[in-house]
Structure 1
């Protein structure tokens, strides 16, 4: 079974609904979750917020947070996850914001992705540096990690 099929089975068994807020993956997590048949039982909605304006408009990320920490930060991932959670009927919402590459110039390294996970117990965040694996590999690693976070959250 795939991670998405495992997530579907667990969420269905426990009656859990999921939402996503995605930047660097642009909907790939939502697509992975909805790939197995029957996903409508557990997937409420997904927000693709690639630009800062979209993060503000759709998820309620504060412009001050973006300015102070940058889009690729745990602070923004936290607000993205909270926004998706508050604007959906989901029991858990996962968010991702990162630098998939290639050719990124700046203080944050290519391959850095910040994750947020909102649920009944609040919001937690983490950062993973996947490295400069190439755009497709960073994005796929991000999808896999996000699915793992959701599985862990649901089973705790």
Structure 2
């Protein structure tokens, strides 16, 4: 089933749907959206998303331009009209997001399993402690087992994933 896509323009205020493309305001920059390692042809990124768990970056700016906030996916950009009219926008987003949201959920689930197992064994989680220190900037590198798991994420992405992990555990 295709995600319901809502495009927010100046006059639109409703944020209904599974995917929300925020095309409001002046563009901060123009960039190519990379989602699940793929360049989207149907959307031009116009700004950074500052909340949620980042799942898409600008190819050139390296800023998060797509994020999961709650149950919805927000993309700060403008859909190209031709692609939207031809139905390519929905097809491209469906293919990219099915992989992305699935990977984010898998990563969160793996971290949660590790933390819960450590807490059962030792009453405290060393992994959660290390992630907290890394997010706070107290340590510069993650241990190899966490670096392998979170290797493709920058510190800000890990911070957002850490916040989501803490919410789910507590």
TM-score by length of 2: 0.24
Greater Rg by CA: 2
TM-score by length of 1: 0.26
